[in-house]
Structure 1
């Protein structure tokens, strides 16, 4: 009888050890599976196979939403989307991370990537290989990027990404100011002189310390001349001559040197001889980036 009890005790102990071993192997297998998937996603990222990296990271998070690699996978998914030129998806992934982990020590990276994704959204595949003037394109993404970088600096002024964000904001500000000058030039071509003046004044008032301010003053001077507001035109010319004496629209005497000047329209002899039918004066255009940018 005593021997039966001993055998039963040994069997029970063996079964408990077996169950414990199975549980440990099961846990080890789960960790190994998660780690293996994470390492696989790292291989895709390192080889710049970003499409597969996105799929791998998404699969990792779906299978192990509370695993030890889940938060890191969410962060790296932002980068993978961005690197795959999926800028809207990168912004969505960054927003999701910020919403789920507002106190995460690396949440500033999510804010930075939101700005960087919007910053890069205007650049399509052709713009990377062909010369293009992005100041003549839609600026909604540039404005969004500026706002996102500003939010990063407001929330995390000591972030390691702050310096790069400031540099990009400076470039974006110059871009937005130049865009306003391009719009003013368009209004000149359409004969909308008051609208052109308003664009020039907007640059002078809201984009101070940008290279486009010089052209903004020239736009105001030209617009006021065409509107017959010579006193306002002279005020703009005086400010332009004082701050930007080498501006191409000024002559050596600091006078506004344009086809449409305070002395009247400067017409060619062909235009005069043909009573205005041939060789009409070109609409004024201002783009002096080579001199001031």
Structure 2
């Protein structure tokens, strides 16, 4: 007997097809929004803040979005945009956090708290920086955004944190130049390597990579037979970093060729330590605490005369 002629088989088949259809719909379904229920703005905002404190980033976003949806023209709505940016950032949803920050800047460019929107956007780029062996697109974006914060809001705590991170970003960019320069040296393309090392010395001279870059220039110029250039870079290295191991190596290299640098290696100074590139969310400045005025109280009922 055919399965389709069997009523029990037909019932089971229909149930199976319905289950498959529901499964497919569930797989394509976006995250559900909070069911619309008109609630006081203070309650919505306070609940979102509570979810932030608990580390429930996705739920916090839901409540702050609801503030915007139900009370779009209130002070609370403006504040909720920044809180969404912060919650998205904490949840590592950097594209959404940047979009929130850009939306705030577009809507409220002259507001005092726009400083935080610029800051959290810069931090999102900063935390997407990867090791020097990979593409550094986010590094360039981070440097531009962090510099924007220091230029626009130089006396804020955001600028203070941005300056520290700019040093780290420059160290990262210098490290990328050094990686490429060493690769050129291994390939025998000494002129190309020199270009990379000179970039570090000229553009990133305050980073931890400068002593090695100067040594590599000594090494490269000696390879090309440009003795005077090698001596000049060795002298700069010895004057600025006399106790650094890279100068000790440069000194040995120059003296092995019969050259005698004016400065002998010393032990009183060490080269700069490489800045550890770490992302610590706990050190990120939280959104500014604003005093938002509560809604006006309802007028008292008139007493009969």
Normalising by structure 1, report the TM-score. Answer: 0.70
Aligned to 1:25: none
Equivalent of 1:67 in 69, 74, 89? 74
Decide which moves more: 198-207 or 48-57.
Answer: 48-57
Cα distance in structure 2, aligned partners of 1:234 and 1:255: 12
- Pair 1:203-2:166 in alignment: no
Aligned to 1:280: none
Aligned ranges 1:156-175 → 2 under 5 Å: 156-175=153-172
Cα distance in structure 2, aligned partners of 1:189 and 1:116: 36
Assess, with a 3 A threshold, how the Cα gap between structure 1 residues 158 and 248 changes in structure 2: closer, same or farther.
Answer: closer
Runs (4+) of structure 1 moved beyond 3 Å?
249-253
Aligned pair count reads 226
- Pair 1:84-2:64 in alignment: no
Cα distance in structure 1, aligned partners of 2:160 and 2:248: 40
Aligned to 1:181: 178
Equivalent of 1:40 in 40, 47, 53? 47
Normalising by structure 2, report the TM-score. Answer: 0.68
Q: Deviations over 1:146-203 (max 9, x none)?
A: 2111111111112221211111111212222222112211212222211111111111
Q: Greater Rg, structure 1 or structure 2?
A: 1
Q: Deviations over 1:93-121 (max 9, x none)?
A: 11110110011121100111111111111
Give the aligned CA root-mean-square deviation in angstroms.
2.4
Q: CA shift at 1:34, angstroms?
A: 2.6
The answer as to whether partners of 2:211 and 2:271 remain within 8 angstroms in 1 is no
Gaps of 5+ in 2: 1-36, 259-269, 274-305
Cα distance in structure 2, aligned partners of 1:144 and 1:244: 32
Equivalent of 1:236 in 213, 219, 233? 233
Aligned ranges 1:1-293 → 2 under 5 Å: 32-122=39-129, 134-251=131-248, 254-256=251-253, 262=257, 291-293=271-273
Cα distance in structure 2, aligned partners of 1:117 and 1:253: 40
Cα distance in structure 2, aligned partners of 1:108 and 1:249: 42
Cα distance in structure 1, aligned partners of 2:194 and 2:42: 62
SS at match of 1:135: coil
Aligned to 1:271: none
Cα distance in structure 1, aligned partners of 2:42 and 2:247: 68
The answer as to whether partners of 2:215 and 2:250 remain within 8 angstroms in 1 is no
Q: CA shift at 1:235, angstroms?
A: 1.9
The answer as to whether partners of 1:45 and 1:80 remain within 8 angstroms in 2 is yes
Cα distance in structure 2, aligned partners of 1:251 and 1:201: 20
Assess, with a 3 A threshold, how the Cα gap between structure 1 residues 251 and 191 changes in structure 2: closer, same or farther.
Answer: same
Decide which moves more: 172-181 or 196-205.
Answer: 172-181
Assess, with a 3 A threshold, how the Cα gap between structure 1 residues 159 and 231 changes in structure 2: closer, same or farther.
Answer: same
Gaps of 5+ in 1: 1-28, 124-133, 264-289
